[in-house]
Amino acid sequence: MPELPEVENLVCGLRPDLEGAIVRQVIIRWAGALTGITAEEFTAALVGRRITQITRRGKWIAIEAPPGWLLVHLRMTGSLRFSPQRDAELEADRHVHLWFALDRGWLYYRDPRKFGRLRLVPDPGEVTAALGAEPLDPTFTADELAVLLAAHRRQIKPLLLDQHALAGLGNIYVDESLWQAGIHPLRRSHTIGPREVHRLHSAIVSTLRQAVTCGGTTVRDYRGAHNEPGAFQLQLAAYGRQGQPCPRCGRAIERIVVGQRGTHVCPVCQPLVLALDEE
DNA sequence: CACAGCTCCTGGCAGC
DNA sequence: TGCTGCCAGGAGCTGT
């Protein structure tokens, strides 16, 4: 699943390939990947445009091609792959739904589960304005997290997954961050004390930074811009490790369901009882 | 406001 | 071996 670290790696990997490139042709095989625009309009709008920059906001990939922006959300299994040459194998792949012929290569969009979406907008703020804080932005402090948690009475895990609250975390990094901070995913956000908030803030930031450094997490589908897998899956402590020993205490990691999401928790390190000094 | 439930999809897997 | 049927899961949406 592409979450913040995977999207960050993808964007950094694509940047030298895409910035300055001119779109020569757009081939659309499945228009269902497009939001709010027909295949014909999409193609007509993009052909001839020059890509001036590619950035990330939350899990969104934002590609500026004046006078507008191409926004891509990979959801579960989407991927973008750049190739300097035409790739006949990718073009024969039934999961490759569209691609761009650029003046200097080819950019392929692949998505086996067809959850991902592409849209064309005059201003990316139209989509990204509603997103919460960027966890790796210096302005995201423990104090800001404290304000966020105090403003809600929700279970902490669904709150951290809510892109309007915080942008970029998905199932993997929420489970890892809560494990690292020693906080149970069912805890109500407003009951989480100051020391725990600091631990959670550090956990989110360090987990994401480390995952970015590792090239992301490849559990199943994720690949970078040049088809390279990530390596953070080797460092997962909780996610997907049900039945295996907690790296901190040795107790078996359990799998529960929180907010209809598979959730991985250490029953010892992430107790549901509230700490005495924080309540 | 919080949250359950539904939708979109199909590969992968369990069960037979 | 091959079939059926279930499930995961990000986000937008509706209903309570």
User: Across all residues in chain A, what is the average pLDDT?
Assistant: 91
Q: Which residues touch strand B (CB under 7 A)?
A: A 32, 94-95, 112-115, 151-155, 158-159, 220, 259-260
The residues, any chain, with a CB within 8 Å of residue A157's CB and separated by 6 or more, are A174, A175, A178, A185, A186, A258, A259, A261, A263
**DSSP assigned state of A1:** -
Pairing, β A96-102 against β A79-83: unpaired
Phi, psi of A211 (to 5 degrees): -65, -40
> Residues A168-202: pLDDT tens digits?
999 999 999 999 999 999 999 999 999 999 999 99
Catalytic residue among A57, A59, A157, A223: A59
Residue A220 CA distance to nucleotide B13 C1' (Å): 14
User: In this structure, what is the dihedral angle of CA atoms A53, A54, A57, A59, given to the nearest 10 degrees?
Assistant: 170
Residue A121: CB less than 7 A from any atom in strand C: no
Identify the pLDDT of residue A231.
85
Report the distance separating Cα A228 and Cα A249, nearest Å: 33
Residue A275 CA distance to nucleotide C8 C1' (Å): 33
Identify the pLDDT of residue A274.
52
Query: Among A17-21, A124-128, A220-224, which is the least confidently predicted range?
Result: A220-224
Q: Using 50, 70 and 90 to split pLDDT, how confident is the model at A275? A: very low
Give yes or no for a contact between A270 and A185, defined as CB atoms under 8 angstroms apart: yes
Q: Is A59 a catalytic residue?
A: yes
The residues, any chain, with a CB within 8 Å of residue A270's CB and separated by 6 or more, are A178, A179, A182, A183, A184, A185
Q: Kindly state the tokens that stand for A30.
A: 């499945």
Residue A262 CA distance to nucleotide B16 C1' (Å): 27
Identify the pLDDT of residue A220.
74
